[in-house]
């Protein structure tokens, strides 16, 4: 397997791990009856599987080999809703760095089709970080308890999950 293919397979693992981490965060909010936050993270977890499938489908399209490895156990406990979003933001920054490393590798290895496929992820990561950052700011400003938290909880419920099939998605 080429260096590039190995790195793309690792990225599939990281994207599925992201989904697993966010599903764990869903759990955190479900246990506290914060249904709006839980629903927001469900949509986020679903989106991560879609990210994994974009790379999975690309590898098959170019005749490469997908090798699925074990998914690491995610954290299961956080100290507050604010900390959940801070950890989410930290994780998204890690994913952005990982995508940028892939871009650099694709350029060095003259893997132009890979480089082109990764462009979507560069843009997506800007959005991913902005989403988490916005909620960190809002929780810091409004506080993450009482009425402010309940108000934000109802707002979070508005996020609509993407369709389950990667083929139906346009984002």
Residues that bind ligand OFO in the complex, under the rule CB under 6 A: 15, 18, 48, 51, 92, 95, 128
Distance of closest approach, residue 47 Cβ to ligand OFO, in angstroms: 7
Q: In this complex, which beta carbon is closest to ligand OFO, that of residue 15 or of residue 111? A: 15
Distance of closest approach, residue 130 Cβ to ligand OFO, in angstroms: 12
Q: In this complex, which beta carbon is closest to ligand OFO, that of residue 42 or of residue 51? A: 51
Q: In this complex, which beta carbon is closest to ligand OFO, that of residue 35 or of residue 124? A: 124
Distance of closest approach, residue 51 Cβ to ligand OFO, in angstroms: 4
Distance of closest approach, residue 131 Cβ to ligand OFO, in angstroms: 9
Between CA 94 and CA 89 the distance in angstroms is 9
Q: In this complex, which beta carbon is closest to ligand OFO, that of residue 18 or of residue 24? A: 18
Alpha-carbon torsion, ordered 2, 117, 134, 89, to 10 deg: -10
């Amino acid at each position: 397997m080429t260096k590039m293919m190995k790195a793309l397979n690792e990225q599939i693992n990281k994207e599925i791990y992201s989904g697993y981490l966010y599903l764990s965060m869903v759990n955190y909010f479900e246990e506290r009856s914060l249904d709006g936050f839980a629903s927001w993270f469900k949509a986020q977890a679903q989106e991560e599987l879609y990210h994994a499938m974009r790379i999975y489908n690309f590898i098959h399209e170019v005749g490469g080999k997908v090798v699925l490895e074990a998914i690491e156990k995610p954290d299961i406990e956080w100290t507050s809703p604010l900390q959940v979003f801070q950890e989410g933001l930290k994780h998204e920054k890690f994913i952005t760095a990982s995508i940028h490393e892939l871009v650099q590798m694709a350029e060095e290895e003259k893997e132009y089709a890979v480089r082109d496929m990764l462009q979507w992820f560069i843009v997506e990561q800007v959005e991913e970080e902005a989403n988490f950052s916005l909620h960190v700011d809002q929780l810091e400003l409004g506080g993450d308890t009482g009425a402010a938290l309940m108000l934000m909880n109802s707002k979070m419920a508005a996020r609509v999950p993407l369709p389950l099939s990667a083929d139906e998605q346009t984002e």
